[in-house]
Amino acid sequence: MTPEQFAALNALEFAEPELLMQALTHRSYANENQDTVIGDNQRLEFLGDAVLGYLAGEFVYLHFPDKPEGELTKLRAALVSTQALSAIALECHVDEALRVGKGTDQQGGRRQPTVLADTFEAILGALYLDQGMQATADYVLPKLQARLTAEADKIPTYNARGTLQERASVLLGFNRDIGWLAKPGWSITAPI
């Protein structure tokens, strides 16, 4: 599928179509085609990740006014997880439009969850650069809403990292409000 077909299928119009082309270009393809390809999607993925994080955070904040911060964090994490983003990417046919190198393609890289999720973030980064935050929100928020509705009962209530931080703060005597500053003599570089 060409980038133009992908854009049409997803009701996207780019003023700068080369941004979408770059978003759909995996580094393996760029490495194999250095003479004709200007760059891969990694920088756009970086930007798209930040934009998505903001939009997902705002989304859960506004849609769940009674939930505490910890639960909002879990909801946001579930929405922007590799599993969720790769599922959205497949629904949008990213795998069919993604330009990957021959070796990556032969190894199934085009359908790897991390590759799909990263590419979806790159598409969001490209859309943000091309049309701004509102257009990006208009595109991605319905997808997040659908995912949340479909997967609401599967969103984990256990957060391993958060639980570790909570238990470490109790065991090490940290005050939750001031973290590592609660221990006299500790600095950012102090070993734990």
Catalytic residue list? 49, 121
Residue type, 100: V
**Maximum CA pair distance of the chain?**
61
Tell me, rounded to whole angstroms, the distance of Cα 101 from its chain centroid: 22
Q: Between the CA of residue 165 and those of 7, 75, 159, 174, what are the distances in Å?
A: 43, 18, 10, 10
- Residue 42's contacts (CB-CB under 8 Å, 6 or more residues apart) are 27, 118, 122
- Total Cβ atoms within 10 A of residue 63: 14
Instruction: At 82, list the tokens.
Output: 């590799």
48 touches 123 (CB < 8 A): yes
Q: For the chain, what is the radius of gyration of the CA atoms?
A: 20
